[in-house]
Amino acid sequence: MKILKNKVALLVAMMLLVMGLAGCGEKAGNDGDGTKNASGTAYPLEITDTNGETVTIKSEPQKIVSVAPNLTEVVYKLGAGDKLVGRSDYCDYPAEAANVESVGTITGPDIEKIISLDPDLVIVSTHFDEANTEKLAEADIQVLTLYDQGNVDGVYTVIDTLGQALNKNAEADACVQEMKTTIADVESKVKDLEKPTVYYVVGYGEYGDYTAGGDTFIHGIIEAAGGDNIAKDISGWNISLEVLVETDPEIIIINESMKDDFMSAPTYSELTAVKEGKVYTLDVNMLERQGYRNAEGIKALAEILHPEAFK
């Protein structure tokens, strides 16, 4: 059986880091103190990031390095992709991100390479090591840490804060409003419909079964899309095979690269969803990367769970 253990281990580790951490950063001050106003962001700007650290951005960043795929996506969405001079190996969306120089992995980026790019700002998420932040600080490079609170409201804060930092306030406001409109439309379509039971596959095989428990970001997405997460009473990402078999989900959602192997494995072949061909794939990055595409992910998932509501 194909385990994909490296991918699963990285994904689960990153997800576990996200859960249970402090809330998103607050905006700083008011007009004249380095915040956004009708004409845009006033610099120098002081922002309290998600870790509670005060970050001072002296002037509008012209050169940015992103060591977080979800933040890279937001940078492009806000129309600041032309300022990106470095990105992680995993920053693969949108396609033009591939043209930006890579600075290495998410958990072990090449700090010397980042310094050589002479960025005005480095944006990171939960997995960026504090020692790396200190090295960049010694080189007089500001690091802004942004991550969500495990829910979509936290994503709104991330987008709004990044928009403020990059002087893309109007774009951030429009992005958040677009997300809210999409999600509200989906929720209105599915709110009175019977919720099918759903199993979201994060990982599987001899190393265990992994899914999205009730305290995870993805659980909220499943609920918003009108699904009943079979792991809602589980904390974290581990689920026993016994619980999976006992709950016998009506619908299974899985990464396309895993689908055929999962469905052909004797361990899962007797599940109702497998026997009835109700194992579905979608771009899981829309669900697993906390960013503006989460709204698209909720809609795509809802269309799988409730096709009748979107005819």
pLDDT at 98: 97
* pLDDT tens figures, 28-43: 333 434 555 545 999 9
**Positive or negative CA dihedral for 200, 206, 207, 208?**
positive
Reported as a pLDDT band with limits 50, 70 and 90, residue 188 is very high
Tens digits of residue pLDDT in 213-254: 999 999 999 999 999 999 999 999 999 999 999 999 999 999
Let me know how many helices (H) and strands (E) the chain has, helices first. 12, 14
What's the predicted TM-score (pTM) here?
0.86
In terms of CATH architecture, what is 191-310? 3-Layer(aba) Sandwich (3.40)
| Residue 304: closest CA among 218, 232, 196 | 196
Six token digits for residue 69: 């795929």
For residue 200, the cross-strand partners are 253
Q: 288, exposed or middle or buried, with CB in 10 Å at 0-12, 13-18, 19+? A: buried
What confidence score (pLDDT) does residue 39 get? 59
The per-residue pLDDT for 218 is 95
Q: Is the peptide bond before 109 cis (omega within 30 degrees of 0)?
A: no
| Site of tokens 């039971």 | 197
Give tens-digit pLDDT for 5-28: 434 444 444 444 333 332 333 333
pLDDT tens per residue, range 115-157: 999 999 999 998 888 899 999 999 999 999 998 867 888 899 9
pLDDT tens-digit profile of 263-298?
999 999 999 999 999 999 999 999 999 999 999 999
What pLDDT, on a 0 to 100 scale, did the predictor assign at position 250? 98
Peptide bond connecting 61 to the previous residue in cis, omega within 30 degrees of 0: no
Task: Report the CATH fold assignment for 24-167.
Answer: Rossmann fold (3.40.50)
Q: Are 204 and 263 in contact (CB under 8 A)?
A: no
Give start-end residues of each CATH 3.40.50.1980 domain in the chain: 24-167, 191-310
CA-to-CA distance for 235 and 279, rounded, in angstroms? 24
Strands 36-37 and 40-41: antiparallel
